[in-house]
Structure 1
């Protein structure tokens, strides 16, 4: 008698725009401070995407995740096809060669292309981690007042900062709801009985009809959600109340700014002086 097959472990979905419950110092930071820190780090890594800045930012992300008590369960399951694409990209980049060059027996192998690919992959991972930390530790309702406060210097130019903040807040609120609705639609589609396979032309027609049905259902669900959200906003005093909540930096925000500037400044100094000089000498 053969043993029963082990149940397949369910894949963890991506958790976006939904804060992880908690009352840590990271959760209590002003949303505008988090946005400014992410923007500043993004500018730093854009102009100086070296290993030292990437490592320093990765260290900041890990320490922040520990301070915010982010559980491992929020991390999504990486599908096998993504690992395959990363492996394929690494192998392809390795053929580019370049410095540094190592000798394997009588053959010289250049690791420059592979190291560049690994650096770009690490950079993308760090940036995704920054965005995820903001998503996991920030309430969506705090984003609109923060954006309105940060855009206050643009108001004399007659730029509709408040309208932009409200639009951003509504988009952030609607995105998770639409993901849930689309997941339900997809699950309902999978429960439908499969029709008998025909020729290729019949399959294409059936596939096109199913895509049209799903798009129509998705548009209907989006319109229904938008109508419900509009009624809720009207009942609470209108769209202007979304960005009218008082918000601003506090003492802990300035401490966070100081720590980030200190770490990023030290990493940039090492990248431009010590490590940069040693790289030129080699």
Structure 2
């Protein structure tokens, strides 16, 4: 290939947009998925060991395979993130701790490095769990599910329906605002730029561009909010968002039993297995 090497196009973050297709995971009630995330989050908070992390990671991968999530939904990792991870691992390795290795009669402690790797893997697993919810759940199903789950809180006179509506509107607006911001940044790159004669002039021009982008972003957000308000009013008001029929089914009970068994196995392995307690 004689042409110059093409730069590989980076894949953006795809969130709050369900992946096309139907599967058992897609058909689950949105409330079940939210409760699963909450239960696993509590599990990894109380028992953040390698065994629970590995079991939850296997659960996430198996669920993604059942839901037929393509690899294309995974975003490209920017280079600066790899640099930050390397610097974090390097600084964490200075903490030392068990286990120790000896290289050329010099002893090194790997405790700090292993802790950093454990936290990094835990973060990746939790991000993957949240991504599964985003890729298999329609945003319109979130508000009714939250209203159903929070129904006992109505006895305390808490505005559960209003919270559900606010959450639903935020989730709906987030992808639209991301697309609008991408258009704004693309338009900014197309604007002709004058060459700056000094560093002070470059800083002043950069500050002016940031102010212009922020003003344009606020204008776009207000316009989108006005359009969304008109659409909600035309469809019967905000109360209709959380009033849609939403209830669990037999498949949700099976999924809940699997998650409970997974959590019980993770706790047992973490507490009673000699490999983790030694």
- Structures share a fold, TM > 0.5? yes
Q: Distance in 1 between matches of 2:264 and 2:83?
A: 36
Alignment match, 2:223: 224
Q: Does 1:133 align with 2:132?
A: yes
Partner in structure 2 of residue 109 of structure 1: 108
- Asked if 1 retains the 8 angstrom alpha-carbon contact of 2:270 and 2:277, the reply is no
1:37 is aligned to 2:55: no
CA 1:155–1:276: 2 relative to 1, 3 Å: farther
Aligned to 1:60: 59
Deviation at 1:230, TM superposition (A): 0.7
Label 1:7 to 1:33 Cα distance change in 2 as closer, same or farther (>3 A).
Answer: same
Deviation, 1:105, is 3.5
Change (3 A) 1:213 1:89: same
Secondary structure in structure 2 of the residue aligned to 1:109: strand
Aligned to 1:260: 259
Q: 1:67: Cα distance to partner?
A: 0.3
Counterparts of 1:64-213 in structure 2 under 5 Å? 64-213=63-212
How far apart are 1:277 and its partner, in Å?
6.3
Deviation at 1:182, TM superposition (A): 0.2
User: Matched residues in 2 for 1:93 and 1:69: separation?
Assistant: 37
Q: Could you tell me the TM-score, scaled by structure 1's length?
A: 0.96
Deviations 1:166-220 (A, max 9, x none): 0000000000000000000000000001112122222222111111111111111
CA distance in 1, matches of 2:212, 2:96: 49
In structure 2, the partner of 1:214 is 213
Q: TM-score, normalised by structure 2?
A: 0.97
- Match of 1:49, SS? coil
SS at match of 2:101: strand
8 Å contact 2:271–2:277 — kept in the other structure?
no
| Partner Cα distance (2:141, 2:188) in 1 | 36
Counterpart residue number, 1:272: 271
Aligned to 2:48: 49
Alpha-carbon distance change, 15 to 277 in structure 1, aligned in 2, over 3 angstroms: closer
The alpha carbon displacement at 1:3 in A equals 3.1
Q: Which runs of 5+ in 1 are unaligned?
A: none
CA drift of 1:101 comes to 1.2
Contact 2:184 2:213 (8 Å CA) reproduced: yes
Q: Which runs of 4+ in 1 moved over 4 A?
A: none
- Cα deviation, 1:19-40, whole Å, max 9, x if unaligned, reads 1011100000000000000001
